[in-house]
């Protein structure tokens, strides 16, 4: 039976997931998506994601592709999947794509945001999705340091490659800004190393606290000194995976 390839944009709260990639006896986003597709289409469909988010990391727009012989239109499939998916996963959009399209390899960039709750009093409502840092951070200094990341660099100081040994990536945008009681770290690159964003944020926090200078941050990038510790995953969200129209 002929199949077609579809791209779905997925939003999920990663708190209760062991990451995206399917694992035996552990709850994952890929596992929930494939379970829902089987329930709707009756076929065992393999889902391919644009990336493999870590345990506890959230997503506002993760791209996944899959092949299906189901004959209904993408809007019908969108409604059917959302009807059977658990409350912490939702499909935002489904579109048909060419047979050679890949959610992973056709992606032009990935954009992440790390949210820091920078206030002296904790917030039970906000802390599910943000890291509480009571000490006042110098967001301007963090932003100046983050801009050192823009361009093509060896980011091996901040992470490890998911496969192989190539640690060179191209950072398209890097910004830190204050939004009321929050400090937002936004990074967009062609691809990221394992735990790269979380270790970059951990190092930027040292800058924000006055422990590390901007030139010291540049030294970390150049592997002249050690990076900061990786921050917890719950403040991290994959904002978007960008493709050609």
Same fold, 4-97 and 109-242: yes
Q: Give residue 144's pLDDT.
A: 98
**Is the domain defined by 4-97 classed in CATH 3.20.20.70?**
no
What is the residue extent of each domain of the chain? 4-97, 109-242
Q: What is the pTM of this model?
A: 0.94
Q: Indicate the Cα dihedral angle 177, 61, 100, 109, nearest 10°.
A: 0
Active site residues: 54
Q: In the structure encoding, which two tokens stand for residue 5, read together?
A: 């390839």
Q: What is the pLDDT of residues 41-99, one digit of tens each?
A: 999 999 999 988 889 999 999 999 999 999 899 999 999 999 999 999 999 999 999 99
The CA-to-CA distance between both ends of the chain, in Å, stands at 28
The pLDDT averaged over each successive group of 10 residues in the chain (245 residues) is 92 94 90 96 94 91 95 95 97 96 95 97 92 97 98 96 90 97 97 95 98 97 95 96 87
> In the CATH hierarchy, which top-level class contains the domain 109-242?
alpha beta
CB within 8 Å of 128: residues ≥ 6 apart: 15, 234
* Residue 135, CB-side half-sphere exposure with 13 Å CA sphere: 9
């Amino acid at each position: 039976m002929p199949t077609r390839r579809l791209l779905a944009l997925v939003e999920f709260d990663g708190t209760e997931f062991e990451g995206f990639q399917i694992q035996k006896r552990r709850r994952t986003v890929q596992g929930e998506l494939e379970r829902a597709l089987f329930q709707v289409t009756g076929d065992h469909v393999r889902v391919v994601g644009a990336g493999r988010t870590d345990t506890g990391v959230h997503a506002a727009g993760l791209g996944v592709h899959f092949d299906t012989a189901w004959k209904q239109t993408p809007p019908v499939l969108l409604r059917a999947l959302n009807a059977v998916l658990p409350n912490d996963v939702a499909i935002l959009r489904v579109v048909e794509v060419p047979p050679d399209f890949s959610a992973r390899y056709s992606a032009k960039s990935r954009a992440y945001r790390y949210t820091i709750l920078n206030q002296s009093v904790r917030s039970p409502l906000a802390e599910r999705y943000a890291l509480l840092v009571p000490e006042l951070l110098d967001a301007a200094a963090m932003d100046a340091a983050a801009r050192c990341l823009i361009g093509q660099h060896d980011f091996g100081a901040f992470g490890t490659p998911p496969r192989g040994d190539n640690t060179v990536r191209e950072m398209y945008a890097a910004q830190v800004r204050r939004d009321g009681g929050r400090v937002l770290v936004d990074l967009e690159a062609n691809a990221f190393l394992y735990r790269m964003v979380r270790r970059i944020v951990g190092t930027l926090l040292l800058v924000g606290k006055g422990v590390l200078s901007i030139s010291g941050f540049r030294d970390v990038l150049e592997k002249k000194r050690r990076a900061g510790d990786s921050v917890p995953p719950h403040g991290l969200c994959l904002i978007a995976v960008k493709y050609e129209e």
